[in-house]
Structure 1
Amino acid sequence: MAISTTAVPGQFTLVLHSHLPWLANHGRWPVGEEWLYQSWASSYLPLFDVFERLAADGYTDQVSLGLTPVLAAQLDDPHCTASMYEWLADWQLRATEAAMSRDADRADAGRREYLDAGRALETFETRWRHGGSPLIRGLATSGVVEILGGPLAHPFAPLLDPSLRQFSLTEGRADARARWGVDPAGIWAPECAFAPGMETEYDRAGVRHFMVDGPTLHGDTALGRPVGDADVIAYGRDLQVSYRVWSPKSGYPGHAAYRDFHTYDHGSGLKRFRVTGRGVPGEAKKPYDPSRVDAVIDRHVEDFVGHVRQRLIDESARIGRPALVVAAFDTELFGHWWHEGPVWLERVLRRLPEIGVDVGTLSGATRSGLVGDPVDLPASSWGSGKDWRVWNGPAVRHLVDLNAEVTETALDAVAKLLDRRRGRNRVADQIVRELLLTVSSDWPFMVSKDTAAQYAVSRAHTHAHATREISDAAMRGRDDAAAILAETWSRADSLFPALDARRLHAIGNAEGGIG
């Protein structure tokens, strides 16, 4: 059935959350830097190409694009950019070997992947070799995307010490300004986590809007909502629309024709099989056939845009004014998890205006007045149960306790170090850096979801050990040893070079002291 092209009221907004934990220098395979390079090749390269094509064709305000400081640090890191180039070359080499296979299906996959790797290598050589920031700055300047920021190292903010939470947020925004010349009006709070009172902290930090999950707004996401008495707006993810894509039971990526994420060819490491069917074991998967895919993508585009259009009509009628529909996803879904996702996404963004749907950003929604009455928000997240159980439930109580203990140790050491001596203190800086990596929200998430849980626990304890080790040497007056330890750890964990522990100390003093 053809979709009407008559304009409909309101606005559709696509929000993408780009994030990976700090992986550089902490393992390669099966979990570690490989995760970064796969996501870079499969998601960031093609999606940035999509945004640049849209910008070149005159599209503006297409996506609210969240980029976490910890991911941005890796996209700019010299070790990561050099290793990414090597990874792409290795991908092409593996594809070459597969293309020479006597197995016809493996050889076909090898030839396809060889061409894909070659295109990725050319894009990386000509556009990315100096890091991601020049491209991100260009996208922001073109107006095709709105950049959303976030706090340093992606902490689960409601469980964080208040002074560390404020420091992480303000430093994250400063990191965006330094890298991209952008002062993001909005943020994607890690895990969409919220605790009552955080709206005041956002307001004080200059945040004008942030994302929450739909149930946090009791499912009524048709308008942004000012939170409490603060001058900051919460926008909620529309689950009816978002789950058309991101449902493990019925989402588009599970279609039989699409390339399967989980099943590898063990000889080459290439993903050369299609989904085939839900519940089909890996050994029974059929070879991936690109000729089957294009028509399926178009059907899913039409299904999605039709659903968005009808949702805008229905929600606008329900509230008696133009409504907002926000679909929000992890960026890595498109390409990394769902191979065909970037193609689908570009077709959706080009198709929506053709059927009368206005596309805009979260900032655009605010400018257009798609904002309702103030609301008080509950403690919430976008995790299981829409509460905090993924990050503070029984399965991760040991990490909650670890974070509390290490935070107390670090803040006490930083306070004493900076009270003892004025000026920049690199030892204190590295203590804070390791503390932030310890309390990353990724580690309890990976444990609760049993995805590389052993790696996650190891990472949390590694950074906790670094924090304790440097702090202990400093508190015992072993200044030379503390300096050596700080320098040694910084070789692995060198992100956020502008981080200055004195600013954390100032926040703590303003709040009555830290430690």
Structure 2
Amino acid sequence: MSHPDSPVPGQFVLVLHSHLPWLANHGRWPVGEEWLYQSWAASYLPVFAMLRRLADDGYSDMLSLGITPVLAAQLDDPHCAASMYEWLADWQLRATEAAVATDTQRRELGAREYRSASAALADFESHWRHGAAPMLRRVAASGVAEILGGPLAHPFAPLLDPRLRRFSLAEGLADAALRCGTRPRGIWAPECAFAPGMEAEYAAAGVGHFMVDGPTLHGDTALARPVGDTDVLAFGRDLSVSYRVWSPKSGYPGHPAYRDFHTYDHATGLKPARVTGKTVAAKDKKPYDPQRADPVIDRHVDDFIGHVRHRLVEESARIGRPALVVAAFDTELFGHWWHEGPIWLERLLRRLPEAGVRVGTLASAAANGHTGAAVGLPPSSWGSGKDWRVWEGPQVSHLVQLNAEVSATALDAVDKLVDPRGGRSRVADQIVRETLLTVSSDWPFMVSKDTAADYAVRRAHTHAHATRELVDAALRSHVGQAEQLRRNWSRADNLFADLDARRLHTTEALSTRRRSH
């Protein structure tokens, strides 16, 4: 779609949501740490490299970047960093094997992958040797993007015990402040999930704005809306624009010229094919050719810009004032799922201002006055049906019951074990840590969508078992056994070192005081 470069009214905001569940020390292949390293290599490395280039070229206020605390913890974890380095080296070795094959197509594939692996290794050695925190601080300090926070361990908040929900959010924001050097004012609520009343909890935690899906605002996403009687703003994802890229039925990544995600060369684990066609069998797919894909990327950039311009003009006319268009995606789409995604993304962000589109962040959209009248929001999410069925439907009722039981057990134990004015209890800390890992929204999602469902159920029950046996030993005053269990479990689940169970009391007291005022 062609477009003139005359300015259009309003503002466009791109939001990226970066998240993976805690995978370290819980399997490698086919589900486990491999998922982390694939996403790190294909998405996080190029996206942060893009942000560095944009910042160096003087761009600012280009997008809102959500990084969940559980993902940041893995990107900062020494075990994960060392294993990632090994994974990149293995990628290079696999490419070398392909590059010396007798088959011409495999040799070309190997040479291309060797160059990519070598570039990724150099990037990792230069920028990631101290983890993600220095990268996040650089992004925040440069102003190229707004960092969004979120609750610890990515729970489906509406179904979580309110006390644990408030604690998880407060701790998640504190964790982001430690890593980024600044406390986020905006959050990506896990799964864009909302229940009436959560806006008051957001206000008490100091959250200024958050994301919901478009249908939560009945499709009227042209302005951010204060929720209830708070000043907390809900921004809605514009589905008509977002679905141009990634939709349940179509989108750019399915173009025949792009690299196929699902087809592997089983001898090397590399991906040799292009999509070719939606109904073409893997064995019949044509070899991937980057030169064939490159002009398609440009066409899709132009198409997306054209739709953004049209939507801004259309929505501004409808509401009688400059409108807002928010497109939101999982960061892992760009590179991991859609190989050409990072190139498309950088070209898009550079060309949007040239095409007369004002680009900004959620924070700048609020500051620029793109806000409307207050609304009440319904129970909602960005999952199937835009309701809670993915996380509380009959297919995951066993996990809903498990989460409720484990949360109640843990909170009762912490109340008995912890004196908020006394010393720290590492056992209580680990009880809370394992509880938060149990209630991760990823496990019911994976069951509902039948993606590695057995792994998801096993993970939920593993963390539930850890919680229960820690609680049992601690409440029986088996101090030595409880401490040994704590050490054993913390070797696997050593994230959120600053988590302090005593703050379950202080967070609740502070929240109560704020709500009373």
Q: Contact 1:17–1:65 at 8 Å: present in 2 too? A: yes
Equivalent in the alignment of 2:351: 351
- Number of positions where the alignment pairs a residue of Structure 1 with one of Structure 2: 512
The CA distance in 2 between the partners of 1:420 and 1:388, in whole Å, is 35
* Corresponding position: 1:74 with 2:65: no
The CA distance in 1 between the partners of 2:359 and 2:509, in whole Å, is 45
Equivalent in the alignment of 1:313: 313
Over residues 389-411 of structure 1, what are the superposed CA-to-partner deviations in whole Å (9 max), with x where a residue is unaligned? 00000000000000011111111
The CA distance in 1 between the partners of 2:510 and 2:307, in whole Å, is 50
Over residues 151-186 of structure 1, what are the superposed CA-to-partner deviations in whole Å (9 max), with x where a residue is unaligned? 000000000001100000000000011111111110
The CA distance in 2 between the partners of 1:344 and 1:381, in whole Å, is 28
The CA distance in 1 between the partners of 2:509 and 2:139, in whole Å, is 39
Equivalent in the alignment of 2:19: 19
Structure 1 residue 248, shift from structure 2 partner? 3.6
Q: Contact 1:257–1:289 at 8 Å: present in 2 too? A: yes
Equivalent in the alignment of 1:132: 132
Q: Contact 2:223–2:324 at 8 Å: present in 1 too? A: yes
The CA distance in 1 between the partners of 2:103 and 2:408, in whole Å, is 59
* Corresponding position: 1:177 with 2:168: no
Q: Contact 2:94–2:268 at 8 Å: present in 1 too? A: yes
The CA distance in 2 between the partners of 1:118 and 1:220, in whole Å, is 46
Over residues 272-318 of structure 1, what are the superposed CA-to-partner deviations in whole Å (9 max), with x where a residue is unaligned? 11111012221221111111011100000000001100100000000
* Corresponding position: 1:417 with 2:439: no
Give TM-score, length-normalised by structure 1. 0.98
The CA distance in 1 between the partners of 2:415 and 2:498, in whole Å, is 19
CA pair 142-507 structure 1, distance change in 2 beyond 3 A: closer
Q: Contact 1:414–1:505 at 8 Å: present in 2 too? A: no
Structure 1 residue 2, shift from structure 2 partner? 4.1
CA pair 316-508 structure 1, distance change in 2 beyond 3 A: closer
Q: Contact 2:37–2:87 at 8 Å: present in 1 too? A: yes
The CA distance in 2 between the partners of 1:386 and 1:98, in whole Å, is 45
Matches within 5 A, 1:363-382: 363-382=363-382
Structure 1 residue 510, shift from structure 2 partner? 7.4
CA pair 248-273 structure 1, distance change in 2 beyond 3 A: farther
Equivalent in the alignment of 2:266: 266
Equivalent in the alignment of 1:219: 219
The residue type equivalent to 1:89 in the other structure is: A
The CA distance in 2 between the partners of 1:185 and 1:509, in whole Å, is 21
CA RMSD of aligned residues (A): 1.2
Equivalent in the alignment of 1:145: 145
Equivalent in the alignment of 2:386: 386
Equivalent in the alignment of 2:515: none
Q: Contact 1:418–1:505 at 8 Å: present in 2 too? A: no
Q: Contact 2:166–2:508 at 8 Å: present in 1 too? A: no
Equivalent in the alignment of 2:297: 297
Matches within 5 A, 1:12-411: 12-411=12-411
The CA distance in 2 between the partners of 1:187 and 1:217, in whole Å, is 17
The CA distance in 2 between the partners of 1:479 and 1:2, in whole Å, is 70
Structure 1 residue 412, shift from structure 2 partner? 1.0
The CA distance in 1 between the partners of 2:410 and 2:185, in whole Å, is 31
The residue type equivalent to 2:268 in the other structure is: S
Equivalent in the alignment of 1:455: 455
SS at match of 2:325: strand
The CA distance in 2 between the partners of 1:382 and 1:7, in whole Å, is 32
Over residues 62-110 of structure 1, what are the superposed CA-to-partner deviations in whole Å (9 max), with x where a residue is unaligned? 0100000000000000000000000000000000001111121111111
The CA distance in 1 between the partners of 2:511 and 2:495, in whole Å, is 27
Q: Contact 1:156–1:190 at 8 Å: present in 2 too? A: yes
Q: Contact 1:259–1:338 at 8 Å: present in 2 too? A: yes
Equivalent in the alignment of 1:499: 499
CA pair 419-138 structure 1, distance change in 2 beyond 3 A: closer
The CA distance in 2 between the partners of 1:408 and 1:169, in whole Å, is 18
User: What percentage of aligned pairs have identical amino acids?
Assistant: 74
Over residues 442-492 of structure 1, what are the superposed CA-to-partner deviations in whole Å (9 max), with x where a residue is unaligned? 000000000000000000000000000100001111011001101110000
Q: Contact 2:211–2:235 at 8 Å: present in 1 too? A: yes
Structure 1 residue 508, shift from structure 2 partner? 5.2
Over residues 419-459 of structure 1, what are the superposed CA-to-partner deviations in whole Å (9 max), with x where a residue is unaligned? 49921000000000000000000000000000000000000
The CA distance in 1 between the partners of 2:284 and 2:402, in whole Å, is 43
The gaps in structure 1 that reach 5 residues or longer are none
Equivalent in the alignment of 1:481: 481
The CA distance in 2 between the partners of 1:55 and 1:511, in whole Å, is 38
Structure 1 residue 507, shift from structure 2 partner? 4.1
Structure 1 residue 328, shift from structure 2 partner? 0.1
SS at match of 1:250: coil
The residue type equivalent to 1:418 in the other structure is: V
SS at match of 2:359: coil
The CA distance in 2 between the partners of 1:352 and 1:88, in whole Å, is 33
Q: Contact 1:212–1:234 at 8 Å: present in 2 too? A: yes
Give TM-score, length-normalised by structure 2. 0.98
Structure 1 residue 506, shift from structure 2 partner? 3.4
The residue type equivalent to 2:176 in the other structure is: A
Q: Contact 2:420–2:505 at 8 Å: present in 1 too? A: no
SS at match of 1:17: strand
The residue type equivalent to 1:486 in the other structure is: R
Structure 1 residue 509, shift from structure 2 partner? 6.5
The CA distance in 2 between the partners of 1:505 and 1:13, in whole Å, is 38
The residue type equivalent to 2:302 in the other structure is: E
The residue type equivalent to 2:273 in the other structure is: F
The CA distance in 2 between the partners of 1:274 and 1:203, in whole Å, is 48
Equivalent in the alignment of 1:471: 471
The residue type equivalent to 1:435 in the other structure is: T
The CA distance in 1 between the partners of 2:294 and 2:470, in whole Å, is 55
Q: Contact 2:150–2:173 at 8 Å: present in 1 too? A: yes
Q: Contact 1:75–1:132 at 8 Å: present in 2 too? A: yes
CA pair 288-352 structure 1, distance change in 2 beyond 3 A: same
SS at match of 2:360: coil
The CA distance in 2 between the partners of 1:35 and 1:436, in whole Å, is 21
The CA distance in 1 between the partners of 2:7 and 2:391, in whole Å, is 43
Q: Contact 2:221–2:236 at 8 Å: present in 1 too? A: yes
The CA distance in 1 between the partners of 2:420 and 2:308, in whole Å, is 59
